[in-house]
Chain A
Amino acid sequence: MCDLTVKTRSQDGMWVITLVGELTSQDRETIYGTVPWLSPDIVTQTVAFDMSGLSYINSAGIALLIRFAREAQQRGYELFAYGVSTHYQKVFRIVGLTGYIELFADEYGALETFRRRRVHAREQSE
């Protein structure tokens, strides 16, 4: 039984993947089905995980995130996550995920950084 619900949306050009419930190995296909690089309709290079609704992440769930982060980096995507509990922030640091996923307290922080970098990128290209 899958105890994870996943919703996706575009927020000002940032692709947001909202995870609610429990992230374990049983959610493999659910997570992989959200990757933006599999859909030509999704034009973004930034993906943000909303983890404020996650109650449990086990090591298999961590492995899913690592695989996602690895593929995102190889494809030139930047990854954000917000709403991660203090405890799981610690676990992410232990496994090295924080080197590849930027953590924010909330969606506002992630969006502000995303917008600032987009403006900066536009200025650089002019």
Chain B
Amino acid sequence: MDMTDNSDDVVLLETSLAADLGTEKIAMQEVELSLRQIGVPVDRIDDFKTMTAEGCLNAIEHGYGFDANQQYELMLIQSGRELILRVRDRGRSSAGPACCVKGNWMNDYGEPRGWGLVIIDALSDSWTLKCDGGITELEVRVEIWICGGGSTVV
């Protein structure tokens, strides 16, 4: 799996997980461990964990329809002061609706859905959802001040 752009980028985490509900929690734990090791502040770790969960859930549900026999890919990269999260699946022909329009959900009558990308949009500096050649990739970028190496256990 090659999802790096720059030879100076540091791959903090690279893994594949089954497209089964619940595996997003494994992804969250692994992302947390990686971010603690490089000194990311705790409040930003929580943001990243949530973005990770929502990115994974997008792949699990929309990419593979909860098919536990399929796998999605997750990569966390440090690129200078930027952290890049990439979630990739190969289960769909188009990226689908990119974002939920928040609108006035109080007056809507359907099941309120699509909040994952709304949350990612608010917590990140930028994100893209692209589908190319059967591969759908969600990329989330966050500029972050790293406190320095070592664990930050709170």
Chain A interfacial positions (CB closer than 8 Å to B): 24, 26, 56, 58-60, 62-63, 66-67, 69-70, 73, 85-87, 90-91, 94-96, 100
The 8 Å CB contact of B57, one of A26, A58, A70, A91, is A58
Can you list 7 pairs linking A and B with CB atoms under 8 Å apart? A58-B24, A58-B53, A58-B116, A59-B54, A59-B115, A70-B112, A95-B118
Tell me which of A56, A67, A86, A94 contacts B119 (CB under 8 A).
A94
Min Cβ gap B58→A in Å is 9
Sample of 6 more A-B contacts, CB < 8 Å, known A56-B25, A94-B118, A94-B119: A59-B57, A59-B114, A73-B106, A87-B43, A95-B115, A96-B102
Docked CA distance A20–B50 (Å): 19
Q: In terms of DSSP, what is the predominant structure of the interface of chain A? A: helix
Residues of A within 8 A of B43 (CB): 86-87
Q: In the complex, are the beta carbons of B47 and A63 less than 8 A apart? A: no
Asked if residues A96 and B105 are in contact (CB atoms below 8 Å), the reply is: yes
Given contacts A95-B102, A96-B102, A100-B106, contact A63 B113 (CB under 8 A): yes
B125 at the interface (CB under 8 A from A): no
Is B106's CB under 8 angstroms from A63's CB?
Answer: no
Prevailing SS type, chain B contact patch: helix
Contact of A91 among B102, B106, B112, B119 (CB under 8 A): B119
User: Closest CB-CB distance, A70 to chain B, in whole Å?
Assistant: 6
> In the assembled complex, which residues on chain B have CB atoms less than 8 Å from the CB atom of A86?
43
Q: Name B39-86 residues within 8 Å CB distance of A.
A: 43, 46-47, 50, 53-54, 57
Question: B75: shortest Cβ distance to chain A, in Å?
Answer: 21
B21 interfacial contact with A, CB 8 Å: yes
CA distance A95 to B24 in the complex (A): 21
Task: Say yes or no: B46 contacts A70, CB within 8 Å.
Answer: no
The answer on a CB contact under 8 Å between B112 and A63 is: yes
- Once the chains are docked, how many angstroms separate the CA of A56 from the CA of B56? 15
A63 close to B21 (CB less than 8 A): no
Nearest Cβ on chain A to B49's Cβ, whole angstroms: 8
At the interface, yes or no: B11 with Cβ under 8 Å from chain A? no
Chain A residues with Cβ below 8 Å from B47 are: 87, 90
Could you tell me the distance in whole angstroms from the C-beta of B85 to the nearest C-beta in chain A? 16
**Chain B 96-127, CB within 8 Å of chain A: the 1/0 string?**
00000010011000011111101100110000
